[in-house]
Amino acid sequence: MLEDSVELDEVKRFVTGKYGEALLDPRCIGEKLHDVGQFLIANYEQMPADAQAYADEFFKKFADMMATLLPKMPDGKERRAYARQVAQVQRRHFQARQLARHLIDLPVGDAPIITESEVILYGVLQSILDVLFDATRESSQGIPTLPLLALHYWCIDELLSAYHLSRHHFSTQAYAHIRLTYEHLDLITLFRQQPQWVEVWAGGDTKRIIRELSPKGIREKLGKKAYDPIYSAFTEMGAHGSFAGMQARTGMRGRSPDGTTGIVAWVGGVPRQEQIVFSILWTLMTSVSVLGSSVASFEERLHADEALDMLRTATKSVTKWHKQYFVPWAKANGFDVDGLISLLEKAPEIFRFYKES
């Protein structure tokens, strides 16, 4: 891998070196061209503009040459290797290193609906961290505190992961983290209301744990309906290989002259703004649920007025984002805004506040 400060002459030195090796043994020219192509592809993003222009010219010549040679080659490992490399050069084949960069590079999307969500989310997460900080200032008595603390801190990691994935086009994976957060919230509620289940959860009877403390089993113990539509939606979109989940990851790419419909299946993230927006929306809403849960779990250790202010501020900030950014965006993109506004009016129910005081 080249360093970020690589210059054009360093790239040329590598390429000419490989050509020199090929001249010494013409039988290996194919192998050396393959090495050059792999080298340029792997390091393309780290090259300055002049080096990239040099690489682009090489790619074009290489692809043109191989396009005439490939049909004449017998099917085999060598032909297939060259075909894949040509496809990479022409941006028709994926490279794992570049796909991974999608999670490393700066977040994508500069629309206000996306960028304005960052300050709001981090504000809610900070309130959760402040609540948990206060909760750890005194020793534990009564309801086992360690599981409640650990699960809330775990929720923070899940929310951070969901938001990071959302901002980098990996909304499918973000939903899986949001789903797990809701599992934790129900488990926390169960431990708070029926602490005897902590012993089962921490025990070694795996079969009993699965039987008694499955997400469905926990909901039933809490007196909820066995079927949770919100949880099921996260399951369908992010945790299971559902048809709906597949639809979110594919799209049409027009029609060919013979009338065949072209289909594209995305990998390395799904570059659809609506995917980013909806996964961010649920990350924000879930973060307020976690804050409500943390306040309810440790209310005896908190300053009551401050805790209530935290809940009100979080609700207000997320609701403002919805009304100021999400609703106009939804209208512009043809979504049913009336239903969305109706949901906003039920904020306490959506955010799953367990107690208001």
pLDDT, one tens digit per residue, over 277-332 is: 999 999 999 999 999 999 999 998 999 999 999 999 999 999 899 989 998 998 89
Residue 94: count other Cβ atoms within 10 Å of its Cβ.
13
Q: Is residue 107 part of a domain?
A: no
Per DSSP, the residues of 245-289 read HHHHTEEEEEE-TTSPEEEEE--S----HHHHHHHHHHHHHHHHH
What is the pTM assigned to this prediction? 0.78
Return the structure tokens found at 6. Answer: 């690589």
Q: Is residue 275 part of a domain?
A: yes
Q: Is residue 356 part of a domain?
A: no
Q: Is residue 106 part of a domain?
A: no
Q: How confident is the model at residue 346 (pLDDT cuts 50, 70, 90)?
A: low
Single out the residue in 48, 73, 101 at which a domain terminates.
101
Question: Which phi and psi (to 5°) does residue 110 adopt?
Answer: -115, 10
Query: Which of helix, strand or coil describes residue 219?
Result: helix
Element counts in the chain: helices (H) and strands (E): 18, 2
61 and 97 share one domain: yes
Single out the residue in 72, 101, 130 at which a domain terminates.
101
Q: Which residues contact 159 (CB under 8 A, 6 or more apart)?
A: 121, 125, 177, 178, 181, 283, 286, 287, 290
Q: Is residue 136 part of a domain?
A: yes
Q: Which residues contact 272 (CB under 8 A, 6 or more apart)?
A: 251
Length of the chain: 357
Contact 38, 85 (CB under 8 A): yes
Q: Of 267, 240, 241, which Cα lies nearest the Cα of 103? A: 267
Q: How confident is the model at residue 23 (pLDDT cuts 50, 70, 90)?
A: low
Token look-up 């996260």 returns 234
Contact 138, 301 (CB under 8 A): yes
The proportion of the chain whose per-residue pLDDT surpasses 70, expressed as a percent, equals 87
15 and 138 share one domain: no
> Considering the chain, what is the average pLDDT of its residues?
83
174 and 286 share one domain: yes
Q: Which domain holds residue 219?
A: 112-351
Q: How confident is the model at residue 27 (pLDDT cuts 50, 70, 90)?
A: low
Q: How confident is the model at residue 357 (pLDDT cuts 50, 70, 90)?
A: very low
127 and 204 share one domain: yes
Q: What is the pLDDT of residue 355?
A: 44
Q: What is the pLDDT of residue 193?
A: 94
36 and 168 share one domain: no
pLDDT average, residue stretch 174-192: 94
Q: Is residue 200 part of a domain?
A: yes
93 and 162 share one domain: no
The total of structural domains in the chain comes to: 2
pLDDT of residue 342 exceeding 70, the answer is no
Q: Is residue 169 part of a domain?
A: yes
Q: Is residue 1 part of a domain?
A: no
Write the pLDDT tens digit of every residue in 195-245. 999 999 999 899 999 999 999 999 999 998 887 777 777 777 777 777 777
198 and 300 share one domain: yes
Write the pLDDT tens digit of every residue in 143-159. 568 899 999 999 999 99
Write the pLDDT tens digit of every residue in 293-307. 999 999 989 999 999
